[in-house]
């Protein structure tokens, strides 16, 4: 039998079910008779508060600050809530004015606050209701001298099943014994989910009523990725999941072992490994692969598959979502790059003999400032939420850069007039993908804050090879010495003018090219997220001085066959 919920923390575990049932305090309806009763109840409340604070402080003392930052922050918040003047004022008022006993007063005050948060149409704040409920439960427990501590010793390989888990439940879970949990309610942003991820135990929330089919002691398989729980599986299924678990552990440890390792060479040079992304989900996954930012956010996705241009507000929400996921890591956003092979159903592209040499990217944007300024305003508005940079594609010369910057300034002026906040110093860069731009890199560098080399187009334009044409695709070769000289020149000129140079084309993810590019002085590589661990593995095992020697030799070689064979050999 199976139950399905939302997988909120990945991993596969097999263990025994244990229901966590919580006893909730009930209203007594007692009416206080005199002032002495009132004073006693108020004193009980104050005592319960200090006891509760002491308990949470003890939890903080026992927790491992380095590994459980999330848990610590939650406990700090609980202490502030336990001593919240508004809560105590309300409780004391109920005791002294409405003559309720402390038990009933606390239940009512907490219930009101919980309902308030739940009613606030905001996923995050509704989840905070759990914090208020949690401190309320703690106060009530400490009001009743007969109830004892809720910490319980579980047998090894326990999977906790509960209607819901309070943050305290999750934080105090002993992960040497509790290997996973599943709850009826909750979502991906609940504390329980956050803590599960930070503790690295699989968890499923939102299983709904079906969860009652699980009985104490049932054997369970819990897949925190898919959100599946299998109840009392047979031998073959268990066997399958043992294999899947082993695969998952192996994969996880391999990726994980490099994930937090900085991409530094053996001689201590830091290289930035960024991801090419299309939306916020990509950004989140990229960070999972160890990306330190995004070197290319393609914005086309937002414009495609719809029947009208996205509004400024839609674009703003989209860019903001990406920047929030990046959590202060840099994101280089490429302005609209349509045309060529990327058509839009609602935008009339003229028929062209050579679409790749035609009306596309910045050429469209400069011709249609209405579309361009809408995008730029949305980008600027999103820029206050993190580290956003603007990049213009398909630049062939300095006039285009200046024209684009004029429109950017207009966008800034319009926002300033309406009083909307944006990052006034947002860095502006260009893609170097047209040979004329590469050859004039020394001039362009004075006009912008960074370059990003787009090797796919740079290669096809330099070699006059259509990369979509099957017959000549063998000529499409980024190791052609002509292409390599252009790349080396762009990097050199970037350094001379003190601007950053990155690469977001396919060459950045080619392991053969890593040392050569490092030798040229490239310090930022942006690629598909899944390629990051492999490239990082090369970087951490080599030195910049060795890479420089490799580059010097390669630049003297006259054929790409010799170059690729040599690079293949030195990359081993």
Partner 1 sequence: MIIKDYTITAAEGMHARPATNLVKLTKNYSSLISLKKGDRTVKLSSLLNILSLGIKGGETISIIIDGEDETSAIIAIDAFFKEELKHL
| 404 half-sphere exposure, CB direction, 13 A CA radius | 28
- 459 tagged catalytic: no
Residue closer to partner 1 by CB (options 314, 466) is 314
Residue closer to partner 1 by CB (options 40, 77) is 77
The nearest distance, CB 382 to partner 1, in angstroms, is 11
Does 421 help bind partner 1 (rule: CB under 8 A)? Answer: yes
Q: Which member of 207, 365, 459, 504 is catalytic?
A: 504
Which of 122, 174, 239, 341: binder of partner 1 (CB under 8 A)?
122
The stretch among 18-26, 293-301, 383-391, 521-529 that binds partner 1 (CB under 8 A) is: 383-391
Question: What are the residues whose beta carbons fall under 8 Å from the beta carbon of 195, sequence distance 6 or more?
Answer: 68, 70, 71, 74, 167, 170, 171
Residue closer to partner 1 by CB (options 315, 509) is 315
For residue 277, what are the β-bridge partners?
A: 297
The nearest distance, CB 56 to partner 1, in angstroms, is 13
Rounded Cα gap, residues 56 and 93, in angstroms? 26
Which of 87, 296, 332, 388: binder of partner 1 (CB under 8 A)?
87
The stretch among 287-295, 300-308, 337-345, 378-386 that binds partner 1 (CB under 8 A) is: 378-386
- Considering only residues 306 through 345, tell me which ones interact with partner 1, judged by CB under 8 A: 323-324, 327-328
CA distances from 507 to 105, 130, 241, 513 (A): 67, 49, 38, 7
Rounded Cα gap, residues 223 and 554, in angstroms? 49
The stretch among 118-126, 340-348, 532-540, 541-549 that binds partner 1 (CB under 8 A) is: 118-126
Which of 41, 131, 223, 433: binder of partner 1 (CB under 8 A)?
131
Tokens of 531: 């390629």
Does 280 help bind partner 1 (rule: CB under 8 A)? Answer: no
Does 29 help bind partner 1 (rule: CB under 8 A)? Answer: no
Is 385 strand, coil or helix? helix
The nearest distance, CB 477 to partner 1, in angstroms, is 44
Residue closer to partner 1 by CB (options 27, 80) is 80
Q: How far apart are the first and last CA of the chain?
A: 49
Q: Which member of 18, 78, 191, 365 is catalytic?
A: 191
Q: List the one residue out of 448, 507, 451, 500 whose CA is nearest residue 483.
A: 507
The nearest distance, CB 125 to partner 1, in angstroms, is 6
What sign does the dihedral 394-398-399-403 (CA atoms) show? positive
Which of 94, 128, 272, 389: binder of partner 1 (CB under 8 A)?
128
CB count in 10 Å sphere of residue 399: 10
Rounded Cα gap, residues 220 and 15, in angstroms? 5
Which of 43, 50, 65, 76: binder of partner 1 (CB under 8 A)?
76
Q: List the one residue out of 200, 195, 189 whose CA is nearest residue 71.
A: 195
Which of 37, 68, 84, 447: binder of partner 1 (CB under 8 A)?
84
The stretch among 124-132, 144-152, 333-341, 544-552 that binds partner 1 (CB under 8 A) is: 124-132
The nearest distance, CB 198 to partner 1, in angstroms, is 14
Residue closer to partner 1 by CB (options 263, 323) is 323
Rounded Cα gap, residues 223 and 230, in angstroms? 9
Does 428 help bind partner 1 (rule: CB under 8 A)? Answer: no
The nearest distance, CB 421 to partner 1, in angstroms, is 6
Task: Identify the helix (H) or strand (E) that includes residue 228.
Answer: strand 228-231
Tokens of 507: 């060459």
Which of 27, 31, 73, 249: binder of partner 1 (CB under 8 A)?
73
Rounded Cα gap, residues 556 and 562, in angstroms? 11
Does 81 help bind partner 1 (rule: CB under 8 A)? Answer: yes
Does 413 help bind partner 1 (rule: CB under 8 A)? Answer: no
Does 357 help bind partner 1 (rule: CB under 8 A)? Answer: no
Only one residue has tokens 């899947």, namely 244
Residue closer to partner 1 by CB (options 112, 226) is 112
Task: Identify the helix (H) or strand (E) that includes residue 496.
Answer: helix 481-496
Residue closer to partner 1 by CB (options 360, 377) is 377
Burial class from Cβ neighbours inside 10 Å (0-12, 13-18, 19+) for residue 63 reads middle
What sign does the dihedral 175-180-183-189 (CA atoms) show? positive
CA distances from 418 to 252, 315, 318, 406 (A): 49, 18, 21, 19
Q: Number of residues in contact with partner 1, rule: CB under 8 A?
A: 28
For residue 2, what are the β-bridge partners?
A: 230
Are the C-beta atoms of residues 162 and 19 closer than 8 Å to each other? yes
The nearest distance, CB 117 to partner 1, in angstroms, is 7
For residues 98 to 117, the per-residue mask of contacts with partner 1, x marking binding by CB under 8 A and - elsewhere, is ---------------x--xx
The nearest distance, CB 395 to partner 1, in angstroms, is 31
Does 195 help bind partner 1 (rule: CB under 8 A)? Answer: no
Q: List the one residue out of 28, 50, 61, 24 whose CA is nearest residue 147.
A: 24
- Catalytic positions are 191, 504
Residues lying near partner 1 in the complex (CB under 8 A) are found at 73-74, 76-77, 80-81, 84-87, 113, 116-117, 120, 122, 124-125, 128, 131-132, 323-324, 327-328, 384-386, 421
């Amino acid at each position: 039998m199976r139950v399905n919920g939302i997988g909120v923390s990945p991993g596969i575990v097999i263990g025994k079910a244990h229901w966590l049932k919580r006893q909730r305090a009930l209203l007594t309806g007692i009416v206080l008779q005199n002032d002495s009763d009132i004073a006693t109840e108020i004193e009980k409340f104050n005592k319960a508060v200090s006891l509760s604070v002491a308990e949470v402080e003890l939890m903080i003392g026992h927790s491992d600050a380095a590994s459980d930052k999330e848990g610590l922050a939650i406990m700090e918040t609980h202490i502030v809530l336990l001593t919240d003047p508004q809560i105590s004022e309300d409780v004391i008022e109920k005791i002294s004015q409405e003559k309720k006993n402390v038990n009933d007063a606390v239940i009512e005050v907490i219930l009101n606050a919980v309902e308030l948060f739940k009613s606030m149409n905001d996923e995050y704040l509704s989840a905070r209701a759990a914090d208020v409920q949690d401190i309320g439960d703690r106060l009530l427990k400490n009001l009743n001298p007969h109830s004892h501590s809720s910490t319980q010793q579980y047998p090894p390989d326990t999977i906790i099943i509960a209607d819901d888990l309070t943050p305290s439940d999750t934080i105090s879970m002993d992960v040497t014994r509790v290997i996973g949990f599943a709850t009826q309610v909750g979502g991906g942003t609940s504390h329980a989910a956050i803590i599960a991820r930070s503790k690295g135990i699989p968890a499923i929330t939102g299983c709904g009523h079906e969860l009652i089919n699980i009985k104490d002691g049932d054997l369970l398989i819990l897949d925190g990725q898919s959100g599946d729980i299998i109840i009392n599986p047979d031998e073959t299924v268990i066997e399958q999941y043992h294999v899947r678990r082993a695969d998952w552990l192996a994969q996880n440890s391999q990726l994980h072992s490099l994930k937090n390792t900085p991409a530094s060479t053996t001689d201590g040079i830091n290289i930035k490994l960024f991801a090419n992304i299309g939306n916020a989900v990509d950004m989140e996954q990229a960070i999972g692969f160890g990306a330190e930012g995004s070197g290319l956010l393609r914005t086309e996705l937002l414009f495609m598959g719809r029947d009208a241009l996205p509004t400024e507000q839609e674009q703003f929400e989209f860019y903001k979502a990406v920047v929030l996921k990046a959590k202060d890591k840099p994101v280089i956003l490429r302005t609209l790059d349509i045309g060529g092979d990327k058509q839009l159903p609602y935008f009339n592209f003229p028929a062209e003999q050579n679409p790749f040499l035609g009306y596309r990217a910045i050429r469209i944007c400069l011709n249609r400032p209405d579309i361009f300024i809408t995008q730029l305003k949305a980008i600027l508005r999103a820029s206050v939420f993190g580290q956003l940079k603007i990049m213009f594609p398909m630049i062939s010369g300095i006039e285009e850069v200046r024209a684009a910057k004029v429109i950017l300034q207009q966008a800034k002026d319009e926002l300033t007039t309406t009083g909307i906040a944006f990052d006034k110093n947002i860095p502006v860069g260009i893609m170097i993908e047209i040979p004329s731009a590469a050859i004039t890199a020394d001039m362009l560098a004075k006009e912008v804050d960074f370059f990003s080399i787009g090797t796919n187009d740079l290669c096809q334009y330099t070699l006059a090879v259509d990369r979509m044409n099957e017959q000549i695709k063998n000529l499409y070769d980024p190791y052609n010495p002509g292409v390599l000289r252009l790349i080396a020149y762009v990097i050199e000129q970037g350094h001379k003018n003190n601007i950053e140079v990155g690469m977001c084309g396919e060459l950045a993810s080619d392991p053969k090219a890593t040392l050569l590019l490092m030798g040229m002085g490239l310090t930022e590589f942006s690629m598909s997220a899944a390629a990051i661990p492999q490239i990082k593995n090369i970087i951490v095992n080599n030195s910049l001085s060795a890479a420089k020697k490799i580059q010097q030799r390669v630049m003297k070689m006259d054929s790409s066959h010799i170059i690729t064979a040599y690079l293949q050999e030195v990359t081993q």
